[in-house]
């Protein structure tokens, strides 16, 4: 426990307003249900001052007998917790460097960034950020996701951390280890926020949960789980929903647990013996073993963009996170229908992955793809045992017109396929199902803006050469990404203000519209989405966001019940409102 040796000036539990002018290194203290916390002054890129309270523990360290169990609430502390430095990230092997394991098993913390500690000001809306990273990597660190652009929109921001990989999602598919510990972590963080955020200038009755990729799927999962009901007012799911194949469709968790046990010579049955043995394994060695579980291109950027550890339907649990399968919950309206939802994708999500196959600098790697088990690859991306006999040849014929995957000319075709089967179809499917039962608005968007930098820039490529905006490119305009290129052009900075403004408006009003740009909800019988692009080309679009023939093809592959194109007016040329 980090305890501070310095004590700032405090009056009746409220920070003296004059302290704001004393410099960035000065600290402030707030009272919480667990004890006092000391923060510091920070500044946005617009030079706006705000307070940061970093690395606050919301749960006990999930170590020893607490490994592979639901989190336990953090215990109160004496003295003042030093919230001026960030805590450790959760154990992982960083995607880009893969230099080794970083982080600590004692990582269940959150950080609060607030522009408001004035006693006479109304509490502000709160945005809780859940990071993405395939349920395998990522953190709440400001070195990954800075709150600047949202703080400039006058909201309180909370970044939360949750267990990843084997620590967060190991399951024997029975009551011994039902899984979903990482999602339970998130719920406990939301409970802490409900009980304490008012002390940091936030309104506990105006909490919006927002996440990207695996964080988007997590956000959407809280809308379905009864364990999280009542902890938020709105949900924003960016490039990820709980019904996606990679998010919750897998049914091989027990097989992964057996593979994991064999790596450490642990018994594979009964389940209790397997789990007891893995609890004794050194945490960093356990984290490092993920490299032996990857299916595709070990130790390179081109590995499968997922992890064998994901959330799951867990009815065996004595307190299940998903008492009903997420897809069935959406079909039958078994979720919190009172909560507004904002959901969407970029224009070409799959180029994030395909750039590590088709970029010129990976020419040799591309040649290796055809000797890999491609059907196994697709099954892993979309869900176990997805493909039936003959499906793979149909996929190749439908997307790769010359039948050759390992052909540089197929970079856009490959991106289309991965976009559709990994993100596009299930995003539209989720929106479609919500409009059949939700009592609250559903807003759908597609992010089309191509700025001065994108993920494919890491490989000396352009977004145009892969057919559009990649997975993660949009987040550069919502959160400050210190590892990416800064917003250097006036157009990029304007997009950041607009995109962050949309999200902040949704958090404030349940509607993302701004003074100059009006969004309309997607409703049953009237499908439409907001195209986010440059100001002169943005607007509501009635046409389906992605080609109907591709969506209908994925419907056949998924053997889905619903026709997700039925609400949209489909034209060769898109009709903008």
Compute the distance between CA of residue 520 and CA of residue 528 in angstroms, rounded to an integer: 8
CATH code for the structural domain at 350-558: 3.40.50.1820
Each residue of 83-140: pLDDT tens digit?
A: 999 999 999 988 655 568 999 999 999 999 999 776 667 999 999 999 999 899 999 9
Which residues are catalytically annotated? 213, 349, 471
Mean pLDDT of the residues in the chain: 88
The predicted model gives 209-215 an average pLDDT of 97
Per-domain boundaries in the chain: 10-339, 350-558
pLDDT beyond 70 at 148: yes
Provide the pLDDT confidence category of residue 154 given band limits of 50, 70 and 90. Answer: very high
Q: Tally the residues of the chain.
A: 577
Give the pLDDT confidence score for residue 412 in this predicted structure.
92
Helix (H, G, I), strand (E, B) or coil at 444: strand
CATH superfamily of the domain spanning 10-339: Alpha/Beta hydrolase fold, catalytic domain (3.40.50.1820)
The CA distances from residue 262 to 257, 293, 441, 505, 573, in Å, are: 9, 11, 48, 50, 55
Each residue of 509-522: pLDDT tens digit?
A: 999 999 999 999 99
Compute the distance between CA of residue 115 and CA of residue 100 in angstroms, rounded to an integer: 37
Helix (H, G, I), strand (E, B) or coil at 169: helix
Contact 433, 341 (CB under 8 A): no
Give the pLDDT confidence score for residue 378 in this predicted structure.
63
Contact 515, 557 (CB under 8 A): no
């Amino acid at each position: 426990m980090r305890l501070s040796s310095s004590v700032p000036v405090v009056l009746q539990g409220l920070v003296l307003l004059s302290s704001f002018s004393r410099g960035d290194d000065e600290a402030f203290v707030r009272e919480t249900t667990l004890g006092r916390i000391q923060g510091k002054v920070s500044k946005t890129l617009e030079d706006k001052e705000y307070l940061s309270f970093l690395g606050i523990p919301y749960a006990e360290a999930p170590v020893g007998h607490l490994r592979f169990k639901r989190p336990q609430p953090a215990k109160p502390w004496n003295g003042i917790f030093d919230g001026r430095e960030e805590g450790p990230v959760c154990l992982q092997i960083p995607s880009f460097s893969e230099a080794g394991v970083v982080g600590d098993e004692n990582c269940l913390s959150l950080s609060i960034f607030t522009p408001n500690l004035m006693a006479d000001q109304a509490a502000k809306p709160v945005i809780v950020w859940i990071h993405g990273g395939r349920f395998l990597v990522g953190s709440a660190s400001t070195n990954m996701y800075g709150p600047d652009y949202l703080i400039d929109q006058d909201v309180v921001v909370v970044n939360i951390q949750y267990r990843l990989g084997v620590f967060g999602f190991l399951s024997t598919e029975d009551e011994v280890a039902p899984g979903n510990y990482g999602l339970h972590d998130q719920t406990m963080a939301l409970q802490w926020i409900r009980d304490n955020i008012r002390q940091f200038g936030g309104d506990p009755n105006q909490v919006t949960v927002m996440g990207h990729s695996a964080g988007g799927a997590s956000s959407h999962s809280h809308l379905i789980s009864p364990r999280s009901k009542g902890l938020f007012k709105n949900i924003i799911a960016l490039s990820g929903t709980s019904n996606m194949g990679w998010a919750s469709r897998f049914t091989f968790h027990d097989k992964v647990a057996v593979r994991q046990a064999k790596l450490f010579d642990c018994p594979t049955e009964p389940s209790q013996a397997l789990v007891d043995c893995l609890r004794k394994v050194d945490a960093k060695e356990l984290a490092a073993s993920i490299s032996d579980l990857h299916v595709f291109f070990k130790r390179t950027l081109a590995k499968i963009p997922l992890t064998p550890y994901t959330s799951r339907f867990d009815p065996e649990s004595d307190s299940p996170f998903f008492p009903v399968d997420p897809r069935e919950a959406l079909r039958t309206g078994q979720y919190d229908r009172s909560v507004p939802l904002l959901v969407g994708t970029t224009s070409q999500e799959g180029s994030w992955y395909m750039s590590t196959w088709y970029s010129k600098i990976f020419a040799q790697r591309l040649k290796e793809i055809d000797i890999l088990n491609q059907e196994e690859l697709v099954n892993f991306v979309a869900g176990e045992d997805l493909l039936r006999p003959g499906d793979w040849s149909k996929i190749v014929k439908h997307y790769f017109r010359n039948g050759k995957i390992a052909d540089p000319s197929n970079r856009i075709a490959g991106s289309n396929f991965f976009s559709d089967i990994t993100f596009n179809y299930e995003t539209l499917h989720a929106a479609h199902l919500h409009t059949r039962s939700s009592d609250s608005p559903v807003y759908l968007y597609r992010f089309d803006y191509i700025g001065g930098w994108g993920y494919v820039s890491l490989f000396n490529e352009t977004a145009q050469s892969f057919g559009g905006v990649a997975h993660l490119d949009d987040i550069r305009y919502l959160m400050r990404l210190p590892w990416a290129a800064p917003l250097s052009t006036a157009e990029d900075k304007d997009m950041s203000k607009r995109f962050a403004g949309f999200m902040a408006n949704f958090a404030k009003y349940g509607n993302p519209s701004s003074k100059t740009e009006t969004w309309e909800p997607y409703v049953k019988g009237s499908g439409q989405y907001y195209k986010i692009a440059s100001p002169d080309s943005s607007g509501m679009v009635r046409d389906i966001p992605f080609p109907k023939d591709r969506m209908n093809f994925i419907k056949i592959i998924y053997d889905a019940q619903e026709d997700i194109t039925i609400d949209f007016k489909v034209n060769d040329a898109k009709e903008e409102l």
